[in-house]
Amino acid sequence: MKLWKRLMCTARRRSPWLFHMNSGSCNGCDIEIVAALSPRYDAEQLGVRLEGSPRHADILCVTGPVTQKAVNAVKTVYGQVCGPKAVIAIGSCPATTNVFIDSRTLVGPLDKHVPVDVYVPGCPPRPDAIIQGVAKAAGILAERGNTPPGSATAVATIAVEEAHQ
């Protein structure tokens, strides 16, 4: 039983499948997510796969400052991802709403609506920072297992300098 748990932990760490969701982003961060999967950065080395359906995903990558139009979709998609799951806020927008702060069309930041595990700041963040964020989220996922997300112990931020080293 213990062996199975350890195997499951390794498998969760080594096989993060992503679902990418745009909640009103300017498309800058979305391009960087695609760049992270491209030959130059090749996130598939870590077992990352960009999935078409949220049902298949482990990690929800949200970009954008969460507009009024998008907030219900974000909550629905978060519900559609099957547990155990993690959420990454990619870019400065979902973390702080960035330059759009105080806009009347926004209901962000993201952590008001769904529990966020990893923040990858940057406008847009570099692909290597995104890959590091995914690796960190996969680690959190492996440790946390089936316990509900959002507990304060598991929040990590990828410092921009750290990712650049």
Partner 1 sequence: MTILTALARLLIFPGLLFAVPAAWFFLWVERKAVALMQERVGPPFMQPFFDFVKLLGKDTPPRSGIAGLLMRAWPLIAVSAAAGAVGLLPVLPSSGGFEGDLILLLALLELPSVCIIAAGFSSRSIFGEIGSAREAALSVSYNIVFLLAIVSIAASQHTFRLEALATMHPSFLTVLGILAILICLPAKLHINPFSLPNAEQEIYAGPMTEYAGPELAMWELSHGLEWVAGVGLVATLVAPHFAIAWGGAWLAACIFVTISIAAVLLLSTLAAATARLAIDTSVRFYWQCTLIFAVLAISSALFVRFRS
Q: How far is the CB of 58 from partner 1 (least distance, A)?
A: 7
Q: How far is the CB of 37 from partner 1 (least distance, A)?
A: 9
Kindly tell me which of 65 and 149 has the beta carbon lying closer to partner 1. 149
- DSSP label at residue 16: P
Positions that interact with partner 1 (CB under 8 A): 7-8, 10-12, 14-15, 17, 39, 42, 44-45, 47, 50-53, 55-56, 58, 80, 82-84, 146
Q: What is the distance between the alpha carbons of residues 39 and 51, in angstroms, rounded to a whole number?
A: 18
Q: How far is the CB of 120 from partner 1 (least distance, A)?
A: 22
Helices marked H in 38-126 — which ranges? 68-80, 92-96
83: phi > 0 → left, psi -120 to 50 → alpha, else beta; which?
A: beta
Q: What is the distance between the alpha carbons of residues 75 and 60, in angstroms, rounded to a whole number?
A: 11
